[in-house]
Structures are given as structure tokens and as C-alpha cells.
Structure 1
């Protein structure tokens, strides 16, 4: 029987380094200028599920292990990846032991120890804490410091694939001394710690202006004395995807702009200036439309979009959810907005190939207006004088929200027109990406609060194993006022059979069986309309032609190896 542990023992690789000449000394290349058109709202990824927060913070705080550009698990703050073969994972699969690298220091010069790892677990699982990354700790019973350099993780039941907690950019270690008074409901109020976390990464925050500018300087206590090559980093936020890409590709004002979600023809014209290049890699990103299973009616007050609000008046009907998907022409959306950086998909888990299902392609991948109309007719949703369908006084008219971006607004317009063909109306709304993905529990416009009927955005998961990602749709992961709106189950989907199948996946070690279970879970989400997958997106960002050492990574953070970035000599 093949197991993940057996496979991992043979594939864990040493951390890849840039093939070009390394820089000679720390700070020799001056300033690095970065542009995120989705501005960063916090440097604490436990308080925001937004990719922008995860990426920015990964320059400062780091996990024990992470995934390289090939999707392979590599040691980061530890000496090796625990496996059955090296004794790091117990024979009964109930525990694993991490050995920290010796002499690691936080950026303030203090020692990095096992107590910091234990504290991180306590922080993210604290009652009333609302940790956005809580799914990373699913099934963890206890974390203990065996000694200052040794961490033991114990699981509630045998865990054949244990690489979740403290692995990947979404599960970094935070300093116990800095966050000790920030547990539970106190977490959002720890502004200094959330904006300027002490870290082990190559950079430290010197100034943080929420949703605007972050300045960093090289970490004087970074473990490699010759890195990073850049003495400082300025990360500017705001604007839009097109202006961000232009600032690198056409004007050369910036060195790196994340997420070039820009129409293909526009990018092609920008690159003619010769100032920059595009890097594209495919991982697990999917642009999707989430369906709200709960009632978002503003009249419900604090109960809106929660379990207490009750089921959605029309989207609780499976026929409506299926019809909305059938009406969409994914090929047109890819052609208009993504080009070579997108592929039509019906999967929320589109990669790696071993876990990518094809079961739903037969009904979902190609537009079928006739089938969608028949579904609604048969379900009793009749067209009114204005052409919009209704039943029992409930109209199929939906508030459709997303973040502000020209590609997304164009997609909204396309989908609105497609839905009109089946008698469904859509009111379009967009919010600044900084707000939409910011995770502020006081804002009504975050994607977690989901004060709309449907909403569109992209999400993905670290690494190549989807177990922890699929756990995000468990019934107990719904955002709510009780968890600071930080749950990951954005559609508020709840299915006891789904929860049971996730539990089975967590107990399964055989590779082929795990792949089949992952496909079943993926198919269940699509078939039941928890979301409408649209586009398997490639990571696409722009880089200055003078920047070297880039290893584009779709399995972790795009800046995962920023310590190796440098100017071409």
C-alpha cells in the first residue's frame, strides 16, 4: 500500500535555490518596490483569510515547513520533515514530532523555541478567537514542548496525512511573548502586534499604514547572514490590477506587482515596453461564485447570513442553484478575462491531477440554457410580466457582489446577461478589494459576512493535499458573530454526510483512496451547489526584468523565497 508518508520520505527535497548567481551580502541591492492593488489590512493572517495578508505576512512570519515551487514539502524552521521512516511520526499515526533548527532567533534577537509553536496553536484555537485559519488545526488534540527544540503534536485519532498545522503560508508561527495578551476575543484589538509582528523571516515591519503602505527592512537576526539582498521593501497597496501591472511592465516604477488579473490584450500591450515580464504558474486557484445558503435579508439585523436567519428564500432550492450554473458559459469568461492564465472548470479542487475530478464536466462545463430553463419550469418558478421568475411571492432576483476589478466586473456583466436568459435578475455590486478581503468584523462589506445572495472571488489551498481545504466546508466552520466572522465555510453549507466523508479522508492513508475521497467531496460541493466554479486560474504576476531569483510558486506564497530575490548583475 502506498502512503503519503512513504511517498514523502522519497520526495522531500532540499530547498531550491535560484539558479542565477547569489548576491554577495545582506542589503547590497537597496530597495525592493512591491505593489499589491488589493491593499493589506493586517500583518496577521490569522485575522484575515485574504491572500494579500497571507503573502505580505509571509515575508515576516514563517511556518515550520512549506511547499516549494514544485509543490514538494520542504523543511523551513525545522531540521527535517517528520515521517514514519525517520521516526518523526508515531507508528499509530497519533502523533508527530518536529525538531526545530538550532539557534533560531526572532527578529528582536530573542530565542525561537517550542513554546512559541505551542502558543500559536493555543492562539488559533482559543475560544471566541475567530481564527481565520482554524481549519489548519482540524483534528489536533494537543501541542506540547518536549524541550526547547522539540514540538510534539498529538491528534484526536490516527492522522495519515498530518501536514497541516504549522505548514504553509497560512499557518505560520507567531511569537508567544508578543501575543500573550491577545488570546480569544482580545485578538483583533492587539494593533501593534497585528501590524508589526516579530518574525523569523527575512524582513521586519518598520511602518504599517492599513490599506496603504508597509515599509520593511532586512531582519538583522535572519538566519542567513548574507540574505536578504534587499535592505528594504516598500509594499504599496491600492489602485487596480491594470495600473499595478502597468507600473511594472510599462513604466518600471515597481519591481513586482502581485495578481495581474487584467485582460490578456491589455497585458500584451504593456509588455511591449520591455520593462517587465509576466510569470504564470498553475496551482489550485479557482474563481468561483459562492451561493449563500442562509437568508441575507437586512431586515433580519444581526441574524442575517447566519444559521439563525434560516434558509435562503430561493437559493435553498437545488433546482435554482443547478440552473444558475448551467446558464454560465465558462469558455467566454476565460476568453474575455483570462486567456492563457485561465481554464474553464467545474471543480473547487482543480489540481493536482491525481485529485482533479471530471464527474461534473458532462453537465457543468458547457452552457445549457435549455436545461436550465426546464429545471426552473419543472420546479415551479414561473416567469412574470417582467420576465423574471417567481414562486410563492419570491422572485429570482439576486444581489451579486465581488471585489473591484475590471475582469471581475466584466465577468459580472457576462453572468448577469446569461442569467437573464433563464429569467433570473442580478443586481451587481463591487467593493474595494482591501475592504472585501480585509476581514474587519465591523465592516458589512467583507466576503466573510456575505451580506448578499451570491458573491465571486478566488481561493486556493497550500500544497498538493486538499484535506485541510475540504475541511473548510464543515458545518462548524461557518462565519458568524460568535467567531468574529472568521469561519472559512463562506456559503454556510452544511451536510452531515459531507462532514462524515471529511472525517474518513482524515483517517485514510492509501494514496489512491485519498484521491477518490477528495474527488467525492469536490463533486458533492459542486453537485449540491455550494458554489459555482468558473475558472481554474493560474497565478499571474508581473516582475521587473532586472529582478532575479524568482521561483514562482502556486502551492504556497508567491514571496516564499523572497530572501533569494536580487538584482541581476
Structure 2
């Protein structure tokens, strides 16, 4: 197998609006004063290892860095590493059972101490600890051991051949953490290390000076950053909270902020904001899919805490495939796109919509079929016995709690989907939760998307890079959030399927690109079409807003959106 083919075979993101601003220029670090970023989903922690929320991962990426990143085309580029290891350069073993990473010489943490191979080994031990819950555990899937070769070199050994060995230490989801800072934070102690989790010592362009969870993060330029001319900004303010509308206006209309993330707004609203003349919306398609997750376990509050939404208790309604399929059939996806995203959205039946190599040709769900959905519920034994419009079976009503984060587009989607489900005889209660809480990952909160104390929930996420193996591995048996993992874990539905796991194992052994694509499509189809565990809705273009005076911005759908903040600068008017 040619590893270069694997690296270069994936498609790049497609920009549907300008996604880069200005040409780079150099000078003294901190020369351009303050840059202000607004995330209407406020970060609640500064480590991707204890949160699956994109807003936490991206905030952390300003401080914590991986060995390599994915650039705006999806290509792998070195950051802390001297180069990306491949078979050709000797970094990946011929038998594909190990990968060797080498740190650049002279790297130091923001506290001035050296970055060494011990930090890489520790990072893996931290996430792989058997008594802890790591939100990025799938990144270390198949890792057998980490050997320190010398102070700057580690070799990651896999239990089996790994055609795509770029899980550990690659991309914003798998950065390096400092062993000295986190040494007492292993396993169950990880969530308790507030100082480390809020103020991590990193190698990135900025370091935290003040962290207020679910509110604001103040940062300053890292004085030990490896390029003395970067970052151009002396300070960075990352404000959280509010809503997408206020965030967009703060950049494009008032100019109060320089960059706003995740403009999940209707197309006409974005166009109106752009008339303010202070900034513009930027967009590119990647792998971001708005979808409905079906809870396969019972979230009933009648169960003891610690048993709700666990595999010990199957869902009394949604364990039936026919019910899940009927719910999907009732949805008019093209209308959702029209209402919520316009040109920045595409109706989809796939969890993995891109790159093309991995995207299934499944289109069955794109046509709404209300009558077919009703018939399927009848087959499943759900009938309206008392004429109140709500189906029931064995004395139980077909009633669902449908939750998502607070956002105008998502609430529009909830209203439409509730109406369609009402039309087929399903009673629906809607709940929307503050995004900072919903995506926060706090093991003590009942309202996180990981705990899933609802019947269905809606959100979007994506995977970094262009290969979906780690993303699809999230749904492996045993990877569900549970009390013993501090409710961390990526298998949100509590899905377990032997055929699916066997295909994951086959994917991990397969190097030929076309075969990898075929297996990934089968996995996608199992989790979506064949089981309706995940009900995809919209392939969302990533839409953000950037000030006309902010230079160096390159929108990246394959990594953290803040991936190149070190290169940002102020455009002189």
C-alpha cells in the first residue's frame, strides 16, 4: 500500500464564499493589540479530552497543539513534529503496526520547560487510562504501547496493522498535554483537576490568563511560542454565550468582535447582517452533519441515577427499528435545508457526507413519506385506541422527549419535526438547553448530550481530517458514556452491533483506498439506513463571520476552526 496515496486521496473542502482574508506580514509579537472572538456556545473547559463539544475543543486548540494538523484542503501538515510520518520516509513501519513521531528541536511549553517525548507518552496514558473517561478514546483505538526512543521521539505500536495510523497526536482532537501539569489527573481524578483543565500549559500561540466557564476566556500571547513574530495579537478575548444572531451582528454590523463561530442562521438573516459593512460570512463544506440521535436506552427518571440511559435498560419505544424508521420517514429534509441553511446546506441521509470516497449513495430518506410512516407504526402495533390522535401500545403512549441546544434554527427544526411527528400520531415534548451546558460534558449535570436524559436529541459534529475511521469507531460496543467513565464516551446512542464492530476491525486492517471507502460506506449505512440509530438531516456548510480588518483567516473544515490563529493579524485601514 502506498501511504502517499492515502494522504492525498481525499477531497478538499469546497468554499462557497470567500474563506481567506489578506496576505501575511511579519513584525514583532503582539504588535496588533487585541483580537476578539465570540462563540455563542460558551466553552466550559479547556481540554478536548474531557469534552466532546466543538466549542471546547476549538478554544483549547489556541493553547494545546498536536504533532500534526489537517490544513484547509485536508492535507496532513506537521506542527510540533518535524514531518508527517509515512512509509516512504520511514516513519510508518512497512507492516503498518507502528508509527514514529519526532518532535522539533527546541520546543518549550508556555512555562518555559522543554517539550519531550515523555509528554507524548503521558498524553496517551492519560486518555487510555482504564479508570477514566476520555472523550477522544477512539483516537487511541488499537494502540498497544508507546515507546520512548529518545527525548524527542516516540513510537506508537498498534495491536494490528493500522493503514491509517494518524489517530494519536494528530488533529485538534488529540493534542499533547504536559505530563508535569497533569501527572496527578489520571483516571477518575481527571475531572477534578480544575486548574489544569481550565488553564492548561501548552505550546500554542496563546496562553490562558483568566478562565470563566460558560462566560469568557482571556488569553495573552505565549511568550515562548516557537515563532518570535507570532502571534500578531498581544491578547485574545474569547467571549461565550448569547446566540448566533447576536454573534453575527457583533462582527458584521457593529464591528465589536473580529470573528464569530458557527453562524447557524437562516440565509436571509446572514445577508442582512452583511449589509452592515463591518465583516462578511465565510463558508466551506466538510463533514458537519445536523442529525437526530435515537436513544436506545431508557432515560426514564423513574430509574435510579446511574442506571438511566445505560445499556442495562433498553428503550421501551425506540428499541423498535420500525418506530425509528417511521420517525425518519416523516421528515422533509429538503424543506429543513430551505428553512435553515439555503446554499450552506444539503439534505443528506449520511453520517459521513464527505470526502466522496467515503460517502454512501444512500438517498432513500430524501423523500418524505408520511403515509408510509403511519403504515409502519401500524405494523409495529402502535395504534390510536382512544381517538386522541396519539398512538399507544400495551397501555403506553407513543410519547417522546426531543431535546437540543438553544438556537433559532434548531428551534425551527424542532417545531417542524414535531408537527410531522404529530401528523403520524407521535406526542412530542420539546426541550432546548443552553449550549454551554448541553455540550459541556460536566459529569454532574443531568443536561449534557452525553447523558442523554431524553428520547431523541439533535445536534451536529464532525471529524478532523479526511479519514472517518476514528469517527465511525465512536459507535463501537462499550464506548458509550456511563457512570464508570464519568459519562464520557462518543457512542451517544448506546449502540452495539457485532457486524458493525467486525467491519471496524476490517477497516483498521485495510490499506487500499477503494476498499476502505467501501467498508466506511457499509458502516455508515448500518448506523443510519439499516438501523436508523442516527437520523441524518442536513450536511451543513461551516459558516462563520470575520471582520474586514482581520487578516490571515483561512476557514478550515477538517480541523479546529481556530487552527491558524497564530497567523491572524490586523489589516491596516
Query: How far has the Cα of 1:377 moved from its partner?
Result: 1.3
Question: CA separation in 2, counterparts of 1:417 and 1:278?
Answer: 31
Aligned to 1:462: 464
Query: How far has the Cα of 1:24 moved from its partner?
Result: 1.7
Question: CA separation in 2, counterparts of 1:20 and 1:69?
Answer: 16
Work out which of the residue numbers 516, 519, 540 in structure 2 matches 1:517.
519
Aligned to 2:15: none
What runs of 5+ residues in structure 2 fail to find an aligned partner?
13-18
CA contact (8 A) 2:22 2:571 kept: no
Give 3-state SS (helix, strand or coil) of 1:505's partner: helix
1:148 aligns with 2:151: yes
Q: Which deviates further from its counterpart, 304-313 or 222-231?
A: 304-313
What runs of 5+ residues in structure 1 fail to find an aligned partner?
none
Alignment of 1:492-511 (within 5 A): 492-511=494-513
1:179 aligns with 2:182: yes
Shift in CA distance, 192/351, structure 1 to aligned 2, threshold 3 Å: same
Alignment of 1:243-282 (within 5 A): 243-282=246-285
Query: How far has the Cα of 1:3 moved from its partner?
Result: 4.0
Give 3-state SS (helix, strand or coil) of 1:538's partner: strand
CA contact (8 A) 2:251 2:258 kept: yes
Query: How far has the Cα of 1:64 moved from its partner?
Result: 0.4
- RMSD over aligned Cα, in angstroms? 1.6
Aligned to 2:379: 378
Query: How far has the Cα of 1:7 moved from its partner?
Result: 4.2
CA contact (8 A) 1:23 1:566 kept: no
Shift in CA distance, 212/10, structure 1 to aligned 2, threshold 3 Å: closer
Work out which of the residue numbers 349, 352, 355 in structure 2 matches 1:352.
355
Work out which of the residue numbers 402, 411, 414 in structure 2 matches 1:412.
414
Query: How far has the Cα of 1:8 moved from its partner?
Result: 2.8
Give 3-state SS (helix, strand or coil) of 2:478's partner: helix
Aligned to 2:435: 433
Question: CA separation in 2, counterparts of 1:414 and 1:62?
Answer: 41
Query: How far has the Cα of 1:334 moved from its partner?
Result: 0.9
CA contact (8 A) 1:330 1:344 kept: yes
Question: CA separation in 2, counterparts of 1:9 and 1:274?
Answer: 38
Aligned to 1:314: 317
Question: CA separation in 2, counterparts of 1:215 and 1:526?
Answer: 41
CA contact (8 A) 1:303 1:309 kept: no
Shift in CA distance, 282/5, structure 1 to aligned 2, threshold 3 Å: same
Aligned to 2:16: none
Question: CA separation in 2, counterparts of 1:547 and 1:308?
Answer: 49
Aligned to 2:391: 389
Shift in CA distance, 3/291, structure 1 to aligned 2, threshold 3 Å: farther
Work out which of the residue numbers 472, 489, 492 in structure 1 matches 2:491.
489
Shift in CA distance, 507/245, structure 1 to aligned 2, threshold 3 Å: same
CA contact (8 A) 2:333 2:368 kept: yes
Work out which of the residue numbers 220, 223, 235 in structure 2 matches 1:220.
223
Query: How far has the Cα of 1:394 moved from its partner?
Result: 2.2
Work out which of the residue numbers 324, 329, 335 in structure 2 matches 1:326.
329
Question: CA separation in 1, counterparts of 2:451 and 2:9?
Answer: 43
1:210 aligns with 2:209: no
1:89 aligns with 2:88: no
Query: How far has the Cα of 1:4 moved from its partner?
Result: 3.9
Query: How far has the Cα of 1:390 moved from its partner?
Result: 1.3
Query: How far has the Cα of 1:458 moved from its partner?
Result: 0.4
Q: Which deviates further from its counterpart, 389-398 or 486-495?
A: 389-398
1:21 aligns with 2:24: yes
Give 3-state SS (helix, strand or coil) of 2:96's partner: coil
Shift in CA distance, 69/561, structure 1 to aligned 2, threshold 3 Å: same
Question: CA separation in 2, counterparts of 1:543 and 1:12?
Answer: 25
CA contact (8 A) 2:32 2:234 kept: yes
Aligned to 2:141: 138
Question: CA separation in 1, counterparts of 2:311 and 2:319?
Answer: 15
TM-score normalised to the size of structure 1? Answer: 0.97
Give 3-state SS (helix, strand or coil) of 2:374's partner: helix
Give 3-state SS (helix, strand or coil) of 1:324's partner: helix
Aligned to 1:474: 476
TM-score normalised to the size of structure 2? Answer: 0.96
Query: How far has the Cα of 1:373 moved from its partner?
Result: 1.1
Matched residue pairs, number? 564
